[in-house]
């Protein structure tokens, strides 16, 4: 086959490499199991049912990592800092968020390079959303 007729190879996204939709659903489900019982984080979710929040986070993470673009279709640009402004995200809230997210990441049993890549992003995102240093 000549170069002119060769089909470009599609590279798999991180989303595909880590298992796609099921992986992100598991991550988010375990995260929200912790949030549901957390006295600092739970009040940040005014909805009694955490289902809509689970769906939003799943869509966001899937899109970020190369999966479906449903988040932007339904909600527009993520604007993470803007969306979190109404909430007091102090270092304690950040650390609790990371604690629950760590439980989710650990439950995935990803290969070390994928686990490190995912965790690096989550850690940086959590730190970037701190908007208060008040208790």
Residue 1 has pLDDT above 80, yes or no: no
- 17-21, 74-78, 116-120: least confidently modelled range: 74-78
pLDDT of residue 56: 95
What is the number of residues in the chain? 135
**Is 108 within 8 Å of 23 (Cβ atoms)?**
yes
3-state SS track over the chain: CCCCCCCCCCCCCHHHHCCCHHHHHHHHHHHHHHHHCCCCCHHHCCCCCCHHHHHHHHHHHHHHCCCCCHHHHHHCCCCHHHHHCCCCCCHHHHHHHHHHHHHHHHHHCCCHHHHHHHHHHHHHHHHHCCCCCCC
Digit-coded pLDDT (tens) for 4-17? 566 667 789 999 99
Q: Name the pLDDT band for 3 (thresholds 50, 70, 90).
A: low
Indicate the fold that domain 16-128 takes in CATH. Globin-like (1.10.490)
pTM: 0.88
Digit-coded pLDDT (tens) for 30-59? 999 999 999 999 999 888 899 999 999 999
Digit-coded pLDDT (tens) for 49-107? 999 999 999 999 999 999 999 999 998 887 877 777 778 899 999 999 999 999 999 99
Task: Name the residue with higher pLDDT: 75 or 115.
Answer: 115
Average pLDDT value for residue range 13-22: 98
């Amino acid at each position: 086959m000549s170069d002119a007729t060769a089909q470009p190879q599609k590279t798999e996204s991180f989303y595909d490499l880590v298992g796609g939709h099921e992986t992100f659903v598991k991550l988010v489900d375990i995260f929200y199991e912790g949030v549901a019982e957390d006295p600092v984080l739970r009040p940040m979710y005014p909805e009694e049912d955490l289902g809509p929040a689970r769906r939003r986070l799943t869509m966001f993470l899937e899109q970020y990592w190369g999966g479906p673009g449903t988040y932007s279709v339904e909600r527009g640009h993520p604007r993470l800092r803007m969306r979190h402004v109404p909430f007091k995200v102090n270092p304690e809230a950040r650390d609790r968020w990371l604690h629950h997210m760590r439980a989710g990441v650990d439950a995935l049993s990803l290969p070390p390079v994928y686990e490190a890549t995912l965790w690096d992003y989550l850690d940086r995102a959590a730190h970037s959303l701190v908007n208060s240093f008040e208790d």
